[in-house]
Amino acid sequence: MIKAVFFDIDGTLVTKNAHALASTKEAIKQLHQQGIVCGIATGRGPVRLNQQVDEMNFDVFVSYNGQFVYTCEKEVLRSESFKPEVLQEIVAFSDTFRRQTMFGSATRVEGSSLMQAGQRKWVKQLMRFFPQRIPVAWIKKFLSAIQRNDCRYEELSILKEPIFQCVMLSPVAETEELRAFFPKCHLTRSNPYTVDIIPKGGSKIVGIQACLEHYQLTLEEVMVFGDSWNDYEMIQQAGIGVAMGNADPELQAVADYITDTNEKDGIFKALRYYRLI
């Protein structure tokens, strides 16, 4: 019996316009009425997370890909930041190679001014017109053209706080090279253009397990929804893993069920299929 449901945000809970469908809001309302725990499992940090889920009510938040987990009452259930020496390796790499990188703490996100601009809605809309698979030669030219001129990251005040995740502008083709640079980190993605870097051993499913301990539930009692690479572990290990119709084929391959897209009532349809609403 499913007693908790967790949702990824972008490409899952909300549409391309960053809003939840009326059917999604109704589905979550019905889940709550039955006493089912509703949670978020995202690569995003806590900053303005309520606005990013379209002001819907959730019981628990698995943020930074499982590294910072807290309830709606702000009780922290998991807080696993980078060890100082590991964070220093990421900062040194970013400064040495002039990489666009963002650093996330419990209260803020700082770093690349270009990537901060990339969080703006108009940039997200523009990215929809870019191909999913860009030739490596094009990517290298692009990265060379946008080498940052910001101040050195080692001077950022945010680095005095615990850092739970770094996000670096990086193509998929570069993933294995970065893994060699950061053996004490786990690398995952929510899109082909940036890589999420978290402490080794972390993932959304690890964050969800912290929630389950709090609510005294088991993985078999959990359903999850996702669409991208950073949802892989939770889709594979949860009691029921649902991949959106717009999900990456690799994710769909390990899902228990493939629903419709985030634009076509995918969440509502899957919950109705499993008779949870």
The enclosing domain of 130 has a CATH number of 3.30.1240.10
The Cα 59–Cα 6 span in angstroms is 10
Ramachandran bin of 275, using left for φ above 0, alpha for ψ from -120 to 50, beta for the remaining angles: left
Using one digit for the tens of pLDDT, what is the confidence trace for 79-125? 999 999 999 999 999 999 888 999 999 999 998 777 766 554 444 44
Instruction: Provide the token pair at 26.
Output: 């109704």
Q: Give the pLDDT confidence score for residue 59 in this predicted structure.
A: 97
The Cα 160–Cα 180 span in angstroms is 26
Using one digit for the tens of pLDDT, what is the confidence trace for 28-37? 999 999 999 9
φ/ψ of 40, rounded to 5, equals -105, 140
Place of tokens 């572990």: 233
Place of tokens 């809970």: 13
Number of domains composing the chain: 2
**In a shared domain, residues 142 and 195:** yes
Mean pLDDT confidence for 211-216: 97
Question: pLDDT category, 8, cuts 50, 70, 90?
Answer: very high
**In a shared domain, residues 130 and 176:** yes
The Cα 51–Cα 47 span in angstroms is 9
The enclosing domain of 248 has a CATH number of 3.40.50.1000
**In a shared domain, residues 194 and 209:** no
Mean pLDDT confidence for 209-226: 98
Average pLDDT, the chain: 89
Domain of residue 101 covers 84-199
DSSP-based three-state secondary structure for 28: helix
pTM higher than 0.85 for the full model?
A: yes
For residue 270, is pLDDT > 80? Answer: yes
DSSP secondary structure string for all residues of 28-70: HHHHHHTT-EEEEE-SS-STTHHHHTTT---SEEEEGGGTEEE
CA nearest to 5, candidates 236, 223, 206:
223
Mean pLDDT confidence for 161-185: 94
**In a shared domain, residues 139 and 36:** no
